[in-house]
């Protein structure tokens, strides 16, 4: 079958905005601060930096290079590469696993994305004015307890994602990201500058950057790896798809470093925007998933310009979520396009199916909140939403990540990969990368696996 001719990014800038848009999402602004908050702040952050740059970054490079070499959707690229290089069909798992994983993530990601838009609206209509923690928790409980509200916001978010993806690489995704990403950076800058002027800023800096190693356990390390993978969008085919649309003239290592550093910087800035408010208004930093939707709105409700600052914050969260969501839909849609020719039909059918699957996650917060589908396997207390999240982040991402690293490191020839990366000489950078994808990353990820199935073993292998 002749390869499908996909559109390409019109510039390196457009690609970087799309890739950073994919990486920067709910994972940075919603998940990172509460995970850091629950796990001792600075100590977690230090480990996060090491694991993200040491483990996730080399795999981002592997993923981009596989995409560039295949030139197709993740599924199409793997079929093509396996055929061209005469490799085992087992590698096709990279394409299928990643694409399906991204599809499942999008189904529940859209639900939380919908919350972000709803909260932008609530801020704009001054709904948090004067609210204390109890009142804010009440607003959150009423919203998430309503299947109809959650369903409508989920539908709105998914509809927007599908609309952008229908537009295609240049007129859809690229146009959205080159306007939205600069807006996101501006909003974040505004939030940090605002937070820097509040009395809780110093305390927040200490909390975020002073490592307390007594809090470090083997779990901290494993949590950091998982969060890093999710945050830089690795191992779900998103980067592979975006890499397939990238002109050969752009250097992959340099782009990957920019993407990983930008993603990490946004996570840290999100912490610097949120925690000063938490400390200024004497709220608790370790509130878990409710940090952004319950705790932070209390601060907005107390401050003089809360309407403005709160709206800016939730708009930031919404923009971050939508630019990630399009990258979660694109891998499957680009496959549909190759298979059936029409982007519009592919986006509508695949996006529509994902939307329908997401209804299970909508109900996980209300009518199905007591339904634990995998209770028999020990996941007592985990709703459909939790099971989807757990399955993809703890199983699909690590296994596809290992396969991507091994495929780029061992299955493809060293010279072809070097050329596709855009590296001219055999320097230290290439040497380190090759060592990372061949040995370091697969081993480190294996440890994540072992911790999931056999915690005592993994714990005995790690300090802490």
Helix axes 306-340, 147-166, angle to 10 degrees: 60
- In angstroms, the CA 60 to CA 52 distance is 10
Least separation in angstroms between residue 26's CB and ligand PFF is: 4
Among 39, 233, 323, 361, the residue binding ligand PFF under the rule CB under 6 A is 233
Residues 6+ apart with CB under 8 A from 69: 77, 81, 412, 416, 417, 420
Q: What is the 3-state secondary structure (H, E, C) of 350-397?
A: HHHHHHHHHHHHHHCCCCCCCCCCCHHHCCCCCCHHHHHHHHHHHHHH
Stretch that binds ligand PFF, among 171-179, 204-212, 322-330, 411-419 (CB under 6 A): 322-330
Q: Toward ligand PFF, which CB reaches closer, 26 or 184?
A: 26
Nearest to 104 by CA among 448, 453, 393, 344: 393
Taking a C-beta distance cutoff of 8 angstroms, is the pair 8, 14 a contact?
no
Least separation in angstroms between residue 22's CB and ligand PFF is: 5
Q: Toward ligand PFF, which CB reaches closer, 139 or 317?
A: 317
Least separation in angstroms between residue 327's CB and ligand PFF is: 5
Stretch that binds ligand PFF, among 205-213, 227-235, 366-374, 415-423 (CB under 6 A): 227-235
Stretch that binds ligand PFF, among 39-47, 51-59, 324-332, 447-455 (CB under 6 A): 324-332
Rg for the chain (alpha carbons), in Å? 21
DSSP structure string for 254-303: HHHHHHHHHHHHHHHHHHHHHHHHHHHTT--TT-TTHIIIIIHHHHHHHS
Among 14, 19, 21, 28, the residue binding ligand PFF under the rule CB under 6 A is 28
User: Is 25 a residue that touches ligand PFF (CB under 6 A)?
Assistant: yes
Least separation in angstroms between residue 457's CB and ligand PFF is: 28
User: Is 327 a residue that touches ligand PFF (CB under 6 A)?
Assistant: yes
Q: Toward ligand PFF, which CB reaches closer, 19 or 216?
A: 19
Stretch that binds ligand PFF, among 119-127, 292-300, 320-328, 347-355 (CB under 6 A): 320-328
Stretch that binds ligand PFF, among 17-25, 110-118, 188-196, 339-347 (CB under 6 A): 17-25
Q: How many CB atoms lie within 10 A of CB 430?
A: 17
- 356: exposed, middle or buried (C-beta count within 10 Å: 0-12, 13-18, 19+)? exposed
User: Is 26 a residue that touches ligand PFF (CB under 6 A)?
Assistant: yes
User: Is 324 a residue that touches ligand PFF (CB under 6 A)?
Assistant: yes
- In angstroms, the CA 64 to CA 60 distance is 6
User: Is 328 a residue that touches ligand PFF (CB under 6 A)?
Assistant: yes
Q: Which residues would be at the binding site for ligand PFF (CB under 6 A)?
A: 22-23, 25-28, 102, 105, 230-231, 233, 236, 238, 324, 327-328
């Amino acid at each position: 079958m002749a390869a499908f001719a996909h559109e390409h990014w019109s510039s390196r800038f457009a690609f970087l905005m799309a890739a950073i848009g994919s990486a920067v999402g709910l994972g940075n602004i919603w998940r990172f601060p509460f995970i850091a908050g629950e796990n001792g702040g600075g100590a977690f952050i230090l480990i996060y930096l090491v694991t993200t740059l040491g483990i996730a970054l080399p795999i981002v490079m592997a993923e981009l290079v596989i995409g560039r070499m295949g030139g197709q959707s993740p599924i199409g690229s793997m079929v093509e590469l396996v055929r061209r290089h005469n490799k085992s069909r087992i590698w096709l798992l990279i394409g299928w696993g990643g694409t399906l994983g991204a599809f499942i993530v999008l189904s529940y990601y859209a639900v939380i994305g919908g919350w972000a838009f709803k909260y932008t609206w609530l801020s704009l209509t001054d709904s948090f004015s004067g609210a204390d923690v109890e009142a804010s928790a009440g607003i959150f409980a009423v919203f998430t307890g309503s299947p109809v509200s959650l369903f409508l916001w989920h539908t709105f978010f998914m509809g927007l994602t599908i609309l952008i993806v229908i537009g295609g690489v240049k007129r859809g995704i690229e146009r959205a990201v080159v306007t939205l990403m600069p807006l996101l950076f501006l909003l974040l800058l505004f939030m940090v500058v605002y937070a820097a002027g509040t009395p809780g800023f110093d305390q927040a800096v200490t909390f975020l950057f002073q490592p307390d190693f007594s809090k470090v356990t083997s779990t901290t390390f494993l949590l950091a790896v998982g969060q890093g993978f999710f945050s830089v969008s690795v191992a779900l085919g998103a980067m592979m798809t975006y890499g397939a649309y990238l002109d050969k003239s752009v250097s992959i290592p340099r782009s990957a470093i920019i993407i990983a550093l930008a993603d990490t910087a946004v996570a840290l800035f999100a912490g610097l925007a949120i925690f000063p408010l938490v400390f200024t208004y004497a709220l608790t930093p370790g509130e878990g998933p409710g940090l952004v939707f319950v705790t932070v709105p209390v601060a907005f409700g107390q401050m003089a310009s809360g309407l403005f600052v709160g709206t800016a914050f939730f708009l930031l969260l919404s923009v971050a979520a939508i630019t990630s969501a399009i990258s979660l839909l694109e891998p499957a849609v680009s496959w549909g396009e190759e298979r059936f020719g029409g982007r519009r039909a592919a986006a509508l059918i695949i996006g529509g199916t994902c939307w329908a699957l997401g209804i299970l996650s909508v109900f996980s917060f209300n009518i199905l909140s007591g339904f634990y589908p995998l209770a028999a396997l020990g996941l007592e207390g985990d709703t459909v939403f939790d099971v989807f999240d757990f399955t993809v982040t703890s199983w699909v991402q690590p296994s596809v990540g290992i396969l991507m690293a091994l495929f780029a490191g061992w299955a493809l020839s060293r010279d072809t990969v070097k050329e596709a990366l855009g590296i001219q000489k055999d320097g230290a950078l290439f040497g380190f990368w090759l060592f990372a994808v061949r040995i370091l990353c697969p081993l480190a990820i294996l440890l994540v696996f072992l911790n999931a199935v056999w915690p005592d073993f993994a714990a005995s292998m790690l300090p802490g």
